[in-house]
Structure 1
Amino acid sequence: MARYLNAATLLELARDAQTRATAPCSCTKTPLDGWQSQPLSLDETQFEEIGTLLPEDDPEPTFSEYLPGKTSYWAADAPIAPRYFPYNRCAVWQCSLCGRLYLRYVEGGGYFVDRRIRAVKAELIEDVPLPG
């Protein structure tokens, strides 16, 4: 199983990746600032899974979303809140060519499966506790 990354560790990794990843890369051909269905053009062989936001001790993480103000799930400026859906079901992947970080998970519905991906931006990571 992949190594669990809490919000503080994710933030540290994201800051480091942003510092190093300044040049264009084939992984940035399609803007992935907000959640997107994984583009078919994305070369999966250039990505390495480096961790997960799914805690080992939480077999059924919440489906509650953290969307303050008027933001939406699809928005490029929506916060990345690791304790909330869909982040609490994400794997953290790194481009082996440029070092950029991405979140990936599989959205499953009644009749479909959609692999989704979003670029990690350090300034959007928020460690928001769950209510209760």
Structure 2
Amino acid sequence: MSSALLTAADLVRLAGARRPDGRCPACGGLHCPGWEALPGGFDASVLRQVGTLRDPEVYEPTVEEWHPGGTRTWSADAPIAPAFHPYNKSDVLQCSACGRAFLRWTEYGGYYREDRIRELDAALVVDPRG
């Protein structure tokens, strides 16, 4: 399922698959309700890719964002809209120990590359394009 194109409904389902107590020795160090830089000392090998939001049929995904409530890219309460930036460039990962789900994309700037990660929150998943 690592290259499967996931839908908003898939994201909601995956967001619910996590350890009930929320404590996990493998991924517990990640606190990322909004987009954060992947911590340098974090062992990312505990996260396995379970799908992607990158549509292989779209050569240049839009850079348009979805913030109808006035949020910003980095807001912890920003909607997770799969067809919009940066979600349309994201992979979906799960902790192999507890099932906690995350979104991950790579931000490229003039002279830098930064891996970004955000915990998947079912309450924030929207599909404005239906």
Q: Normalising by structure 1, what TM-score?
A: 0.89
Query: Hey, what does 1:24 align to over in structure 2?
Result: 23
Give the 3-state SS of the residue equivalent to 1:28 in structure 2: coil
Deviation digits for residues 30-56 of structure 1 (CA, Å, limit 9, x no counterpart): 411000010012211211000000112
In the TM superposition, residue 22 of structure 1 has moved relative to its aligned partner by: 2.9
Flag as ranges the 4+ runs of structure 1 deviating above 2 A: 20-23
Query: Hey, what does 1:89 align to over in structure 2?
Result: 89
Query: Hey, what does 1:104 align to over in structure 2?
Result: 104
Matched, 1:6 2:7: yes
Deviation digits for residues 55-111 of structure 1 (CA, Å, limit 9, x no counterpart): 121111110001122211111111100000000000000000111000001000111
1:31-46 aligned at under 5 Å gives the runs 31-46=31-46
Aligned residue pairs total 128
Q: Normalising by structure 2, what TM-score?
A: 0.91
Structure with greater helix percent: 1
Q: Give 5+ residue unaligned stretches, structure 1.
A: none
Contact 1:34 1:74 in 2 (8 A): yes
In the TM superposition, residue 23 of structure 1 has moved relative to its aligned partner by: 3.2
| Distance in 2 (alpha carbons) for counterparts of 1:81 and 1:90 | 11
Contact 1:21 1:100 in 2 (8 A): no
AA aligned opposite 1:63: V
| Distance in 2 (alpha carbons) for counterparts of 1:105 and 1:21 | 26
In the TM superposition, residue 21 of structure 1 has moved relative to its aligned partner by: 4.4
In the TM superposition, residue 122 of structure 1 has moved relative to its aligned partner by: 0.4
Give the 3-state SS of the residue equivalent to 1:88 in structure 2: helix
Same amino acid, percent of matched pairs:
42
| Distance in 2 (alpha carbons) for counterparts of 1:127 and 1:70 | 17
